[in-house]
Structure 1
């Protein structure tokens, strides 16, 4: 299988060639030249598979240049009950992503898919643990090194660092917005003392961190000299790893392939729900893909109006679902590429406008850049928005009605899911994190602390190691040089 850039000016490459990188050389994002298809017979055959073997069956369609025996060994090493051991009471850790039915009646069938049983208590572990093992495998074959340069709004950083800590030949430089993560998220990252983990708190918002990663990645000479790779969701391997749990959720919630399901996904950077879009393009029977945003509602605005309008840093709000405090959704370009019938030249022009004008307009109205908004429904996308008061109310209602405590981002998802639920169609809400990561808001909603898995009781009291830096590209390059010796 070959991969092409969404902007059309980079050579096609294989899975292994794009694995360790991020952006294509023309600034675009990689996608397969065609999406592999999954037949009904395959879906039936996959119903009894373990999560690890299901991951193998899906990944082998995309990583065709990795020997199947090696790929199967990697997925079985990654997806074990020992790694995903932080299951809630009553959940089976061996299922990796167990489902919990919250409500099933004539009006709606609401299901929660647990994705936060990994070592950092967030869904990012589902892909990042695989990525760490894939990186180690690829680097060992080439006897090479890799300097990971990434950005996080809260959960990507800790998931990447826990997946990469102690890995041979790998250093991690992780940017995060200074003082804009929860206390738990901050401690989870900054308390790591491993010498190959370097945390950088950037004076700005997440979009500033993300812009630094893109600027460094677009300097091809520096990227090659410093052996720069990325673990952000611009990395294709991370997105395709997330495709797996859509298939698992569907297979667990249905009994035959004539039934459709919908998924609601709390979303900021569009990576998680982009994986759902890919699963749907592969033939998974998905009815709706529901985008749930917080006050930073760039994506909700687009899916309601066709207008994509990036917010400036001063308009990017610091909220109680901070992992979604994003106003420039990196993976959105992958969907736009498909929406525009894979017209790479139009994609290139539209995202040049994002940089120059702050967005584009596909509503079809006067002066717009196209009329493709009318085609969005054919891809199953709808959206909604949740604010702080909604989160508090949803956390209280879910606890009262279903006896389960959810984190703030999952609360955003449940609130929007209930607005789009249809009779007879299971609505699967993708859990984002365990509530312990956002204890301040849980305490506000429920008047008590969130339960913490063993080993996380006093994480905020651990010594922290990080540096504070301005959002300056040259300063960041100098810092990387100083710590790689290259």
Structure 2
């Protein structure tokens, strides 16, 4: 498997999975993708559909990580996806059966002639879907660093869940330090406490005076300073890191197999005749739904990929109109689904690269317009007309609609969902089609957004026992301005 940059640097060079694992951005500022997506067959789907999660992860990952010995990769997958790590099933933390399933499919009910379900992705250590990739990333980093004798300083940005998932995955890992940027006073109380209460010596929390996009811009600026990046061994865990995305591809396969359980399809069934499933994905930085795009490009029979945004609707605007228009801090809303308060979707570049027929020159021109003009317009081009071929549709949620959805799902199905998942359910309902199961990817457990749960349901969110008293723990963090040089100085001062 060879990896290439979306912006064309190093054309003709060979980059393995291990080559790009620690680095994040390519040297030209582009994002890495496989030169060709691996293709799955009906025989492989038939063989994979009943595998335990760890073994399914191995099968999917080995198509992308062929430079890692298969015995090592299988061991890494089984070390990562263990029942004791994913034991925080909502309201049922002692259920060994649910924990062993890692990502249970929770059927809500039948609506509009089809089944609406949640794929539970938030039973990990920080109660958010980010754990599914971060736990693997932590083990991959430690494995690779031990092999090479290197060390790594991770620089990341978070709007809420990435930070805690990364820190819990990296705490205590040999050869790894984490410098995590988050928007000061713009996360929920639970999210803030999860991150800032960590006292591990290799974890550093920096609260940036600004919004998430300011923090993300700093990460990109530091990554593009190649001399600093090399001197201080800077890596990233944001979804610009390819390993994050490929780890998320796995649960699309898992969700698909769960949604078609009981339906006949085997190795003799042509791939085109396998049942179709749609996925609705709460989206901010486009990483989670980009993994679905990749799974679909591999041949997984996905019908629609439903992009659900909150009031920060840059992605919904694009998929409706062909206009990609990033917003500045003044136009970025602080909402009750704060992990999606993002107006510059970093992973979107990977999809646009495919949309443009993998033409790096055209992609560079478009993203030059993003930097100089604030966006680009594909409405009049044939490129935008091709969006439908990739299965994408979209919709937008607001505070009022997400509160109403939380209340409706609780009253109708006795299921409590968080604010982001509510955005996903609300938009998914716009695209239900008879006979095609709709799977909403759960974002987090409701306790992470307790204030809105109280508003919607007039009751407290379910809190797994392991998180009692979290907000009362001492917190350790430092407030910094939205300035890349100040962050560089901090890293230099705290790196041995």
Report TM bin, short chain: over 0.9
Please state how far the C-alpha of 1:109 moved relative to its aligned partner: 1.2
Please state how far the C-alpha of 1:103 moved relative to its aligned partner: 1.1
1:468 and 2:479 are equivalent in the alignment = yes
- Residue 429 of structure 2: aligned partner: 418
Please state how far the C-alpha of 1:107 moved relative to its aligned partner: 2.2
Whole-angstrom CA distance in 2 between matches of 1:126 and 1:455: 19
Q: Secondary structure at the match of 2:467?
A: coil
1:434 and 2:440 are equivalent in the alignment = no
- Residue 31 of structure 2: aligned partner: 29
CA contact (8 A) 1:292 1:386 kept: yes
Q: Which moved more, 1:120-129 or 1:451-460?
A: 451-460
In the superposition, the TM-score normalised over structure 2's length comes to 0.96
Whole-angstrom CA distance in 2 between matches of 1:142 and 1:334: 29
Q: Secondary structure at the match of 1:425?
A: coil
Instruction: For 1:49-448, list aligned pairs within 5 A.
Output: 49-88=51-90, 89=92, 92-104=98-110, 107-254=113-260, 255-257=263-265, 258-364=274-380, 370-448=381-459
Please state how far the C-alpha of 1:93 moved relative to its aligned partner: 1.0
- Number of corresponding residues: 480
Of 435, 440, 465, which residue of structure 2 is paired with 1:454?
Answer: 465
CA contact (8 A) 1:44 1:256 kept: no
Q: Secondary structure at the match of 2:63?
A: helix
Q: Secondary structure at the match of 1:437?
A: helix
Whole-angstrom CA distance in 1 between matches of 2:190 and 2:252: 28
Please state how far the C-alpha of 1:256 moved relative to its aligned partner: 3.8
Whole-angstrom CA distance in 2 between matches of 1:449 and 1:108: 31
Whole-angstrom CA distance in 2 between matches of 1:137 and 1:49: 25
CA contact (8 A) 1:398 1:404 kept: yes
CA contact (8 A) 2:124 2:132 kept: yes
Q: Secondary structure at the match of 1:327?
A: coil
CA contact (8 A) 1:5 1:12 kept: no
Whole-angstrom CA distance in 2 between matches of 1:265 and 1:110: 13
Please state how far the C-alpha of 1:21 moved relative to its aligned partner: 1.1
**Structure 1, unaligned runs of 5 or more:** 365-369
Whole-angstrom CA distance in 2 between matches of 1:203 and 1:272: 26
Instruction: Specify whether residues 479 and 402 from structure 1 end up closer, same or farther in structure 2 by C-alpha distance, changes over 3 A only.
Output: same
- Residue 271 of structure 2: aligned partner: none
CA contact (8 A) 2:327 2:343 kept: yes
**Structure 2, unaligned runs of 5 or more:** 266-273
Please state how far the C-alpha of 1:455 moved relative to its aligned partner: 1.6
- Residue 43 of structure 1: aligned partner: 45
RMSD: 0.9
CA contact (8 A) 1:123 1:431 kept: yes
Of 463, 481, 485, which residue of structure 1 is paired with 2:492?
Answer: 481
Whole-angstrom CA distance in 2 between matches of 1:104 and 1:294: 25
In the superposition, the TM-score normalised over structure 1's length comes to 0.98
Moved over 3 A (4+): none
CA contact (8 A) 1:124 1:159 kept: yes
Please state how far the C-alpha of 1:79 moved relative to its aligned partner: 0.2
Please state how far the C-alpha of 1:108 moved relative to its aligned partner: 2.5
Please state how far the C-alpha of 1:49 moved relative to its aligned partner: 0.6
Whole-angstrom CA distance in 1 between matches of 2:281 and 2:439: 9
